[in-house]
Structure 1
């Protein structure tokens, strides 16, 4: 060991099952890294960023060898815990209505749509059906007078951006969802809803002829040199260039100290609904609602995907856990909140139990910028997706591949036009203040929680 070694301080640890992964048939297994191997490129992390980087490298460097290391099984990490919205419009979780400054939002829309187009290209190439990749648009809905104010504020912002939208009334929302819980909604057409675990699995299969994929192969140490050596439990991988697509765990590699926030969100998924329950609920088979208040409750209804059955997903509650580990108390509070949110929205489904409960990690920065760039010689970070892992992860992976191969494009220039992540306030003030603020915002969300 020498002073150029990067020692990984901790490995990913997520509470509960990755439910989107669990409800699918068993996935093809990829080998564990054993013995010594040498490649041109190594990618650490098999989520949206890692797979996007791998595919883009395969496009840009067709004669070079690429390996991807995933610490667990593919789709067991945050990617398989995501709510599955690929959102093209501004989605600032720290704002009151997702909106930011106009020029910044226009730039983000261009970037987000480029990432969605890239994901659409993957879906078309691999023949993904609408049950995996559904370009259905996005509904943001309110259940209270306060939520209606958020909807109106968001509508005005969309007007200023020149973006199309449609206002839905309570009757239209009931016909669509089957529940009379919502008062008003605003629909925008550019978003996509995905089954995140299925999308990741199929993308991995699609690139596996060009990219060596290793599962259950966490990186424990990186020895820097003319060829970097990535040490795993049972093998070593030598690579000239490395992309770290590990989101918040970039801090476990020693980079961006005191610059990223580790936020957990929590969700519950019902058992399969019976045919009688589906008939009682009514509405359309597949839909998703984002809350008018960013701290409110996200709801998805999903019909059968690869034998998974008709289910409802409820997501709410957030916690700041700077040690990257959620607490049992967080899961317990989330379960209480989600059971209440489900009961208020779906009284006609009384007795339908939650089959899966889980938490997933988000990585945010105070100024909503990525933790991106060359952090050591020939080692790049593609991290900090700021709560929009499907889109920002895809974008970061694409851009990491492009900057590492010295590409030039207007898209890359747009992506690089950001400040570095701001420094955070010291502990314990950060965690105390952050969690108190989140609990207050949950209380403020009222009926929209």
Structure 2
């Protein structure tokens, strides 16, 4: 534990570009900015997947205790509205060559991931989310090169040892499905869910709003810890007996886990809506998503939005380490160049289509791929560091923080706590120089998979 009584937050979150998944939706319901002093039993800092899961699980466990959730920006404007919308049940370690880890580690992670997806599914059913928002359609990992095909074969063999179901898809099947001849092979697994992340976040918040007091544009700028904790925001204060911090890498701005968190940005572009002629020229299905066989490759998603967002394509690739927790304009420019090239390689029949949105999103990783989790001060719990799988691991961390805070022990929590502490990072400037050089080299190695 850090043993701090007074914490001044070093910085506030900065997200480059618009949260496109949120921008294409109709105008959102708004929640008030905190403009007064309030007292609650539970305060949750952060309104993404982890914060909302913590709020939902708390609401199931604490009876009539009062709960307040404080979001620094608007809901779904931060990282929760900037991901690719995959809830993945299988191993997905970004630090590995093919997503796989050790056998026992992967079996444990699968069980935990599926528990989080089940929790999300229960919320989707309770809040009547349509298929366009929560679609349990599985996922396809795909390759466009011989090297990528070798990655798929390695992953397929790993799934065999884990006893997991899969289907191999041929180049012809991939073309029929996607409309492009780029992909030589695909590997389908049935347990993943594809979501419209901003719609999901909005729907959960709406569903919780009668039970949980939600405040938007209300960043916590300082904390005073004591018998009752006091969270100061720009225009009001929250006194709370218990606090759950669901801020992912922003946790380090509060002074926790110094020298142990990696702050990585990933980048994406979204096209304008395709015209009927362009849709016909492309062919294929209107809703699909592909994860790259190479972890440094390109994620692609095509969707037809049920709320009028149009038939669009999302391209996501490029990653940078920014220990300042703020991306540079040069990072965005390079990402745009890479994504335009990746789009052209996959969709030559759509050459010249404009990208309507470009953005970056914050990830938090640790060197040994473990969460920054647990009671970090008396009655202050961290549900942070999702290691690049924020939809699922964020949901899981929020659930587990609530269970640890209220129950102290549960079967799932015991499984989740079976991790070592985050490893210490190399010193600067060696860390940033080395990590960014390594990522650029791996992007070069990925070749056309990027």
Structure 1 length normalisation: TM-score? Answer: 0.99
Task: Give the length in aligned residue pairs.
Answer: 448
| Offset, 1:118 | 0.3
Match of 1:181 in 2: 182
Question: Aligned Cα RMSD in Å?
Answer: 0.9
Once residues 439 and 341 of structure 1 are traced to their aligned partners in structure 2, the CA distance between those partners, rounded to angstroms, is 16
Matched, 1:84 2:85: yes
Equivalent positions of 1:3-402 (< 5 A) are 4-402=5-403
Q: Is the Cα contact below 8 Å between 2:373 and 2:384 reproduced in 1?
A: yes
- Tell me the SS of whatever aligns to 2:37: strand
Once residues 352 and 331 of structure 2 are traced to their aligned partners in structure 1, the CA distance between those partners, rounded to angstroms, is 24
Once residues 305 and 86 of structure 1 are traced to their aligned partners in structure 2, the CA distance between those partners, rounded to angstroms, is 20
- Report the more deviating stretch, 298-307 or 147-156: 298-307
Match of 2:444 in 1: 443
Q: Is the Cα contact below 8 Å between 1:49 and 1:396 reproduced in 2?
A: yes
Which stretches of structure 1, 4 residues or more, deviate above 6 A after TM superposition?
none
- CA deviation string 1:375-408 (max 9, x = no partner): 1111010000000000000000000000000242
Q: Is the Cα contact below 8 Å between 1:24 and 1:305 reproduced in 2?
A: no
Q: Is the Cα contact below 8 Å between 2:108 and 2:415 reproduced in 1?
A: yes
- Tell me the SS of whatever aligns to 1:430: helix
Once residues 144 and 246 of structure 1 are traced to their aligned partners in structure 2, the CA distance between those partners, rounded to angstroms, is 38
- Tell me the SS of whatever aligns to 1:310: strand
| Offset, 1:3 | 6.2
Once residues 343 and 410 of structure 1 are traced to their aligned partners in structure 2, the CA distance between those partners, rounded to angstroms, is 48
Structure 2 length normalisation: TM-score? Answer: 0.99
Once residues 270 and 407 of structure 1 are traced to their aligned partners in structure 2, the CA distance between those partners, rounded to angstroms, is 47
| Offset, 1:56 | 0.5
- CA deviation string 1:143-183 (max 9, x = no partner): 11110110000000000000000110100000000000000
- Tell me the SS of whatever aligns to 1:129: coil
Once residues 7 and 78 of structure 2 are traced to their aligned partners in structure 1, the CA distance between those partners, rounded to angstroms, is 22
Q: Is the Cα contact below 8 Å between 2:4 and 2:225 reproduced in 1?
A: no
- CA deviation string 1:265-321 (max 9, x = no partner): 000000011111111111111000000000000000011231111100000000000
